[in-house]
Copies of this chain bind each other. A is one copy, B any other.
Amino acid sequence: MIAEITRIRHKYLRHDKKFPHVWCPGCGIGIVLGSLIRAIDGLGLAKNDLVLASGIGCSGRLPAYVDFNTLHTTHGRALTFSTGIKLANPSLNVLTVMGDGDATAIGGNHFIHAARRNLNLTAIIINNQIYGMTGGQYSPTTPYGSNSTTSPYGHIEHAFSIADLAVTSGASYVARGTVYHVPALDKLISRGIEKEGFSVIEIMTNCHTQYGRRNEMSDPVTMMKWFKDHAVTTTRAKKMSPEELKGKFSIGVLTDIDKPSYTEEYQKIRDRAKGREVKS
């Protein structure tokens, strides 16, 4: 008897793609990939109806390994391609995987606008707080004071809260998880996919190679322990004082609201157009 987990892997990993994958030993992106596969399998979504798009970066390499309709776009622009796919064929489930740089540096504008439009898309942001692929330059989520190859004297910029940006911009569902808290991650992703409207799952991930190494966490184990020690669940966070929360970050569902998605709204436009009610 083949183990269930092995069956799932066989079902979703691509056979014509070379394994092991390109990521560094211990890179959290592989853990995210596993979580994503389980979430999709758990929801019972048809592979033919699932589109997985990404931008450029270590995280951008993810879709190539799974047997869906997959798309590796340009740096920062994945959400725009996903927008086109979803609007052109609303019956597809469109997931978008992005790195932190990809989603919030070069792609920041597409991100906030996709949230504003409440497009029925799932954005999975793999936040390793650094530019992994290009060699460890700072990203918009690199913590103040840390080191990177382009902040050799310490980083002076403040990090975005990806989740706050998403909420302010209008996303329907916003969650944060880590590659340490995997069973929870499976659930956060699965809920995000189910959600009508724009959903964002920010995943804190270890890039020990480019971030950890320069910030006294040079191996995956140390970084995963850091996630373990600094994450607090949203429910627990509510009970904590600001001092207790200092230096911590919350994980779990941060926002979950209901409002009509863009796809729904556009269908109304079509109905009006066919009834020829041009308003202006």
Contact = CB atoms under 8 A, between A and B. Distances in A.
Interface of A: 105-106, 108-109, 112-113, 116-118, 140, 147-149, 151-154, 156-161, 164-165, 167-170, 214, 262, 265-266, 268-269, 272-273, 277-280
A266 B156 contact: yes
B169 A165 contact: yes
A165 B160 CA distance: 12
Nearest to A271: B153
Nearest to A161: B168
A219 to B, nearest CB: 17
A50 B169 CA distance: 33
Oligomeric state, in copies: 2
20 contacts: A105-B113, A108-B109, A112-B112, A116-B157, A147-B279, A147-B280, A148-B280, A149-B280, A152-B278, A152-B279, A153-B273, A154-B269, A156-B262, A156-B266, A156-B269, A158-B170, A160-B169, A161-B168, A164-B168, A168-B168
B157 A272 contact: no
A147 to B, nearest CB: 4
A268 B145 CA distance: 12
Given A154-B279, A161-B168, 13 more contacts: A108-B109, A108-B113, A109-B109, A116-B140, A147-B279, A148-B280, A151-B280, A152-B278, A152-B279, A152-B280, A153-B278, A154-B272, A167-B168
A275 to B, nearest CB: 9
B156 A268 contact: yes
Contacts of A169: 160, 165
Contacts of A266: 156
> Residue among A106, A147, A158, A214 with the most chain B CB within 10 A?
A158
Contact of A112 (B108, B116, B149, B262): B108
Contacts of A158: 116-118, 170
Contacts of A113: 105, 108, 140
Nearest to A166: B168
